[in-house]
C-alpha cells in the first residue's frame, strides 16, 4: 500500500497486489522506472501520475476509483479486467512543410476523431489517405494533423488486441 510517502510492504512486483491510497507521482524511484503489480486498486481521492519514461504494468485486475494520468512518454499495460477511467496524454506534431503526421491509435475504448483533430485513414489497397471522422478503432493507426497535446479519457484497452489484414508496401525511407 502506498500511503502518499512510502510503500508499506516494499515496492510491489508481479506477485504482489498494490493499493494506492495517497497521491503518487512516478519518477526514477522505481526499479527500471517501472511499477509492476498483480492487482491494482487506486483509492478514491488518490491522484496518481506516471511521468515520461516510466511505466505501469498491472498483470491482474485494475480498479481505479481515484485519478490516474499517464503523461506523454509513459506506458500503461493492463492484462486483466479494468474498472474505471484514466487519462492518457500524448504529444503530437504535424509539419505543414513536409506533411509529416503523428500516427496514433486509441489507448481507450471510447476515443473519437474529436480527440485527435483532423484525422486521415490510410487505404493501402487504394494507396490513398481519406479524411476520417468518427469512432477510432482499437488497434488501428490514424494520421493526425494536430500539433499539441491530446488527452484520451476513458477505460483503457486491455489484453491482447488482434489486428488482421496487415500488409507491408515498401516505399520511400521515412528517415
Specify whether the CB–CB gap between 87 and 107 falls below 8 A. Answer: no
The burial of 12, by beta-carbon neighbours within 10 Å (0-12 exposed, 13-18 middle, 19 or more buried), is given as buried
> pTM of the prediction?
0.85
Nearest of 145, 91, 149 to residue 119 by alpha carbon: 145
Q: Read off the DSSP letter of residue 62.
A: E
Residue 90: per-residue pLDDT: 92
Question: For 52-78, how does the pLDDT look when each residue is reduced to its tens digit (9 = 90+)?
Answer: 989 999 999 999 999 999 999 999 999
Note the Cα 20 to chain centre separation in Å. Answer: 20
Mean pLDDT score of the chain, rounded to an integer? 87
The answer to whether 145 and 95 have CB atoms below 8 angstroms apart is no
Task: Identify the pLDDT of residue 142.
Answer: 87
Q: What is the mean pLDDT of residues 84-88?
A: 96
What would the pLDDT profile of 129-159 be if each residue is shown by its tens digit? Answer: 888 888 888 888 888 888 889 999 999 988 7
Amino acid at each position: 500500500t502506498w500511503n502518499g510517502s512510502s510503500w508499506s510492504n516494499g515496492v510491489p512486483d508481479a506477485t504482489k497486489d498494490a493499493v494506492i491510497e495517497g497521491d503518487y507521482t512516478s519518477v526514477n524511484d522505481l526499479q527500471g522506472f517501472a511499477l509492476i503489480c498483480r492487482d491494482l486498486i487506486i483509492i478514491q481521492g488518490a491522484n496518481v501520475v506516471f511521468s515520461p519514461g516510466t511505466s505501469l504494468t498491472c498483470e491482474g485486475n485494475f480498479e481505479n476509483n481515484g485519478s490516474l494520468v499517464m503523461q506523454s512518454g509513459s506506458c500503461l499495460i493492463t492484462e486483466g479486467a479494468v474498472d474505471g477511467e484514466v487519462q492518457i496524454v500524448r504529444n503530437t506534431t504535424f509539419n505543414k512543410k513536409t506533411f509529416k503526421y503523428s500516427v496514433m491509435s486509441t489507448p481507450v475504448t471510447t476515443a473519437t476523431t474529436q480527440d485527435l483533430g483532423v484525422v486521415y485513414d490510410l487505404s493501402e489497397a487504394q494507396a490513398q489517405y481519406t479524411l476520417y471522422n468518427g469512432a477510432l478503432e482499437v488497434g488501428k493507426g490514424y494520421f493526425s494533423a494536430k500539433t499539441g497535446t491530446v488527452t484520451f479519457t476513458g477505460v483503457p484497452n486491455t489484453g491482447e488486441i488482434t489486428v488482421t489484414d496487415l500488409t507491408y508496401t515498401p516505399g520511400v525511407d521515412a528517415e
